[in-house]
Amino acid sequence: MLLLQVDTALIIEKVILISVILMGSLGIAMYATWGERKVAAVMQDRLGPDRAGPFGLLQPLADGLKLFFKEEIIPDRSTRFIFILGPCLAMLTALMTSAVVPWGPDYTTATGHVVSFQVADINIGMLFVFGVVSLGVYGVMLGGWASNNKFSLLSSIRAASQAISYELALGISLIALLMLTGTLSLREIVAQQHGFWNDGYFSWNFFKQPVGFIIFLTCAFAELNRAPFDLPECESELNMGYHQEYSSMKLGFYLFAEYINMFVSSAIIVTLFFGGYNFPFMDKVAAGAGPMLFTIICILVLLTKVVCMILFFMFIRWTVPRFRYDQLMKLGWRSLIPLALINMLVTGVLILWVFKK
């Protein structure tokens, strides 16, 4: 009976955590659309959305209602089941990735119960992320193929080849980081970056693997189909891309999935390279603040880093022009993959010859 009660409490705790993460992801995705238009307006010297609510803060709600009430159209010659499955799969994989991200340190209640702010603490967390990310491209591929539109098909083929090409460099860039940390668990990777300074050097992995970070960030742009790697959606060539035939909430699922992926990818980048919820002098803060307040501060620190990373994604979109497709492939195969391999070999040599002495 006691075991049943413990399991029930754990299930309720995880359900609440999953609900908060899902609602938070959707909310951040909604206001990321508002933020992107505001960032574009600032960089282009204009106002941006300012009609719906104060400072245009109700614009995401207006856009959501517009998509929800638009006519639902399914082309006659499309493959109906797969046509509907495509955006659903894109949305599902976007939300699944957040399950292994540690959003804050464990909180111990007065009764000794430990509350974890991570849905699933698995020892192969990064492999889970790569598995889900590799499935995400199927949502785009199925949507483009099921539309029975040659422009949509070309766009989905582009997306698939782009994802496959850059996943190679993405994976190799992480091997060097895993050689340093010795683990695939995101919670352990964050724990190893405790604070900001340790043993006479910075504890965050960004300072230990700057080349790996640059490669990982560049590949993240390509995996997210974000400018300057937004070739699957370039309107001037493909007349809108893989979601050309979609309308109403099926189109909304694709658009929301992109921003949720950007949020979760930013969280993973911050977790891997910028210490996650760790921050300078956190031990002094923990000693002066109560456990609950310290946990809240850590969560807010992580979210602040994530927002900064999202803003960086947006700044790059409105700064760097789009690549040609041949330039995209050359950068992935001729530059990033060899650079990732060299970084991996140099890291291995340093670990064996320097750190082991």
- Does any domain span residue 259? yes
- Does any domain span residue 45? no
pLDDT value of position 238: 61
Query: Given a cut of 50, is residue 298 above it in pLDDT?
Result: yes
Q: Which amino acid is at 271?
A: T
Question: Does 228 sit behind a cis peptide bond, omega within 30 degrees of 0 on the bond before it?
Answer: yes
pLDDT value of position 289: 82
- Does any domain span residue 236? yes
**Mean pLDDT over residues 145-172, rounded?**
88
Q: Are 115 and 102 in contact (CB under 8 A)?
A: no
**Mean pLDDT over residues 5-31, rounded?**
84
**Domains identified in the chain, total number:** 1
Q: Which of 172, 190, 169, 173 minimizes the C-alpha distance to 181? A: 190
In sequence order, what E strands does the chain have? 107-108, 114-115, 197-198, 201-202
- Gap between the Cα atoms of 304 and 276, Å rounded: 10
pLDDT value of position 239: 66
Query: Given a cut of 50, is residue 2 above it in pLDDT?
Result: no
pLDDT value of position 186: 92
What would the two tokens of residue 142 be? 């199925």
Q: Which has the minimum average pLDDT: 132-136, 232-236, 265-269, 317-321?
A: 232-236
Cβ atoms within 10 Å of 249's Cβ, excluding its own = 18
**Mean pLDDT over residues 103-121, rounded?**
84
pLDDT value of position 313: 93
**Mean pLDDT over residues 174-200, rounded?**
89
**Mean pLDDT over residues 65-88, rounded?**
88
Per DSSP, the chain holds a count of helices (H) and strands (E) of 14, 4
Q: Which has the minimum average pLDDT: 91-95, 149-153, 268-272?
A: 149-153
Query: Given a cut of 70, is residue 55 above it in pLDDT?
Result: yes
Place of tokens 């990310």: 133
Quickly state the pLDDT bin for 1 (edges 50, 70, 90): very low
Q: Which of 106, 16, 101 minimizes the C-alpha distance to 291? A: 106
pLDDT value of position 356: 60
Q: Which of 319, 138, 151 minimizes the C-alpha distance to 231? A: 151
Cα angle 203-207-213, degrees, rounded to a multiple of 5: 120
Q: Which amino acid is at 261?
A: N
- Partnered with residue 129 across adjacent β-strands are none
Query: Given a cut of 90, is residue 355 above it in pLDDT?
Result: no
**Mean pLDDT over residues 15-29, rounded?**
89
- Does any domain span residue 117? yes
pLDDT value of position 314: 92
**pTM of structure:** 0.92
Q: Which amino acid is at 283?
A: D
- Gap between the Cα atoms of 298 and 279, Å rounded: 8
pLDDT value of position 3: 47
Q: Are 260 and 26 in contact (CB under 8 A)?
A: yes
Q: Which has the minimum average pLDDT: 4-13, 222-231, 264-273, 320-329?
A: 4-13
Contacts of 236 (CB under 8 A, 6+ apart): none
- Does any domain span residue 244? yes
- Does any domain span residue 48? no
Quickly state the pLDDT bin for 29 (edges 50, 70, 90): confident
Mean pLDDT computed over every residue of the chain = 87
**Mean pLDDT over residues 130-143, rounded?**
86
- Does any domain span residue 289? yes
Cβ atoms within 10 Å of 276's Cβ, excluding its own = 28
- Does any domain span residue 2? no
DSSP class of 332: I
Domain span holding position 331:
74-355
- For 259-288, what is each residue's pLDDT tens digit? 999 999 999 999 999 999 999 989 899 888
**Mean pLDDT over residues 290-307, rounded?**
92
Greater pLDDT, 198 or 300: 300
SS (H, E, C) 250-267: HHHHHHHHHHHHHHHHHH
